[in-house]
Amino acid sequence: MSCWNPKIEMMPRFELNNVQLKHLRAFAHKLYDQSHFYRERMVEAGVTPDDIVTLDDAVKLPFMMKKDLREIEQARLFMVSNNELVRYHASSGTTGRPTIVGYTQHDIDQWCESVARGLMSAGIGQQDIVQISYTYGLFTGGLGLHYGAERIGATVVPASTGNTERQIDLLKNLGVTAMACTPSYMMYLGETAQRMGVSIKNDTKLKIGVLGAEPWSEGMRERMQEWLGIKAINIYGTSELSGPLWCECSEQAGMHVWSDLTLAEIIDPKTSERLGPGEKGELVITMLQKEALPIIRYRTGDITTIDEERCACGRTHPRIGRITGRVDDMLIIRGINVFPSQVEYSLMTNPEVGNEFQIIVERTGALDDMTVRVELKPEAFTDNMAGIEKVRARVEHKLRSTLNIHANVELVEPGALPRFEGKAKRVIDKRKL
């Protein structure tokens, strides 16, 4: 079995814990001394870096939420000068505003290191040809997987998303052995190949899929492995933490979270108390060595468990299980995060749009489809069909630029959508995982 960094990946647990504690303490000191934002947070929480004596003391540190990243002036959180920044990425925020994430070269190196370890643990190596069909650009999937795969010496096909027939030609003609994409795109690729008369299982060399950025299930894994003849590997990360970071090893029994770079905790989302191994709760992450945008106890909103047992692959680093849900109302549509509040924000900028809307998410074939049904204001509801179509097209266009994905817009007459006495239920998610 190949291993990218055997010294660290196989390090005895007690030694690894010491390494982790050393980094945690140094990180807490650095933030306290150099970041106004974190010092303020620590003072509020009544903790100083000297209170971090054991790994369990991490619970004394304050949490960081997605909304914190959005609300704070970048300058308050970024800890390096522009000269030291080498890249920006962005993810959707909880309103229309994206969260901007900056990286130093050291941040990028550590991100690559995480991905490199993960890919190799999944059975990918120098001999492999990896087609990256995550979006390249501000979204972290494309470049994150790209540099990780290059680091282990694999050959990269930077296909990005779209043009599926061409993707299948590349897959076949270049002898691609591993694909990195969303699980729904993998299914869609399989369906398109079938229509083209190509069997992924029999006519290509594809053997591994590195699949993530959206929730998927064991059932989907089984179906894909059987139908496409691949080993379907789960990969997880969020842009706030860097991007895709941890994936399953070939045991397919959880995703190794590299303890020298990261501290992973599970908490009860209601009480914020830390939970033990095997207990289901919200994943909280501290990136122990990040420079540009330091992250302490980031509440990911993702529900999972943590397994501290040594893995059958020999790696000593803990594993997180499949993400089984979210603590908030974030939807993931074609790998893109969508908050209903973003939809509302965009809709309300149109003077013709009334107060009620409904979001319907369906899976047609392998891909997600989103429709937003929007009530018009009484004064905007006319029988001038051309005028209404103009409004519809504008609302659709605005939504697209806020969400970064296409949503079909249907305009409906005032009063057509349900009203709620209690909490509004504006999202109808018909997808079956």
Residues in touch with ligand AMP (CB under 6 A): 91, 140, 212-215, 234-236, 238-239, 300, 302, 323, 326, 332, 337
Q: Which stretch binds Zn ion (CB under 5 A): 150-158, 248-256, 386-394, 407-415?
A: 248-256
Q: Which positions from 311 through 340 interact with Zn ion, judged by CB under 5 A? A: 311, 313, 315
Kindly tell me which of 297 and 315 has the beta carbon lying closer to Zn ion: 315
Q: Residue 245, interface with Zn ion (CB under 5 A)? A: no
Q: Residue 8, interface with Zn ion (CB under 5 A)? A: no
Please, what is the minimum distance in Å from the beta carbon of residue 312 to ligand AMP? 21
Residue nearest ligand AMP by beta-carbon distance: 212
The residue assigned the tokens 């179509």 is: 389
The C-alpha atoms of residue 5 and residue 138 are separated, in whole angstroms, by: 29
Binding site partner of 236, from ligand AMP, Zn ion, none, Cβ cut-off 5-8 A by kind: ligand AMP
- For residue 239, count other CB atoms closer than 10 A to its CB: 22
**Hey, CA dihedral for 17, 18, 20, 24, is it positive or negative?**
positive
Binding site partner of 249, from ligand AMP, Zn ion, none, Cβ cut-off 5-8 A by kind: Zn ion
Binding site partner of 302, from ligand AMP, Zn ion, none, Cβ cut-off 5-8 A by kind: ligand AMP
Please, what is the minimum distance in Å from the beta carbon of residue 133 to ligand AMP? 15
Please, what is the minimum distance in Å from the beta carbon of residue 302 to ligand AMP? 5
Kindly tell me which of 69 and 372 has the beta carbon lying closer to ligand AMP: 69
Q: Which stretch binds Zn ion (CB under 5 A): 196-204, 208-216, 268-276, 308-316?
A: 308-316
Please, what is the minimum distance in Å from the beta carbon of residue 332 to Zn ion? 26
> Helix 164-173 and helix 183-195: axis angle, to 10°?
80
Please, what is the minimum distance in Å from the beta carbon of residue 99 to ligand AMP? 8
The C-alpha atoms of residue 61 and residue 229 are separated, in whole angstroms, by: 46
Residues 288, 258: contact at Cβ < 8 Å? no
Kindly tell me which of 16 and 332 has the beta carbon lying closer to ligand AMP: 332
Kindly tell me which of 13 and 97 has the beta carbon lying closer to ligand AMP: 97
Instruction: Compute the CA torsion angle 187, 189, 195, 198 (nearest 10 deg).
Output: -110
Kindly tell me which of 201 and 431 has the beta carbon lying closer to ligand AMP: 431
Q: Which stretch binds Zn ion (CB under 5 A): 33-41, 306-314, 341-349, 409-417?
A: 306-314
Q: Which stretch binds Zn ion (CB under 5 A): 8-16, 51-59, 243-251, 383-391?
A: 243-251
Strand ranges inside 158-230, DSSP E: 178-181, 208-212
Kindly tell me which of 251 and 307 has the beta carbon lying closer to Zn ion: 251
Please, what is the minimum distance in Å from the beta carbon of residue 219 to Zn ion? 22
Backbone angles phi and psi of 408, in degrees to 5 = -75, 135
DSSP string, 370-398: EEEEEEEPGGG--S-HHHHHHHHHHHHHH
Q: What is the 3-state composition of the chain as percent helix, strand, coil, each rounded to the nearest 5? A: 35, 25, 40
From candidates 208, 249, 295, 407, binder to Zn ion by CB under 5 A: 249
- Spacing of C-alpha 182 from chain mean position: 10
- Cα angle 76, 78, 83 (rounded to 5 degrees) comes to 125
Q: At 102, which amino acid appears?
A: G
- Spacing of C-alpha 163 from chain mean position: 23
Binding site partner of 238, from Zn ion, ligand AMP, none, Cβ cut-off 5-8 A by kind: ligand AMP
Binding site partner of 215, from ligand AMP, Zn ion, none, Cβ cut-off 5-8 A by kind: ligand AMP
Check residue 350 and report its DSSP letter.
S
**Hey, CA dihedral for 216, 221, 305, 133, is it positive or negative?**
negative
Binding site partner of 234, from Zn ion, ligand AMP, none, Cβ cut-off 5-8 A by kind: ligand AMP
Q: Which residue in 181, 184, 128 sits closest to 365, CA to CA?
A: 184
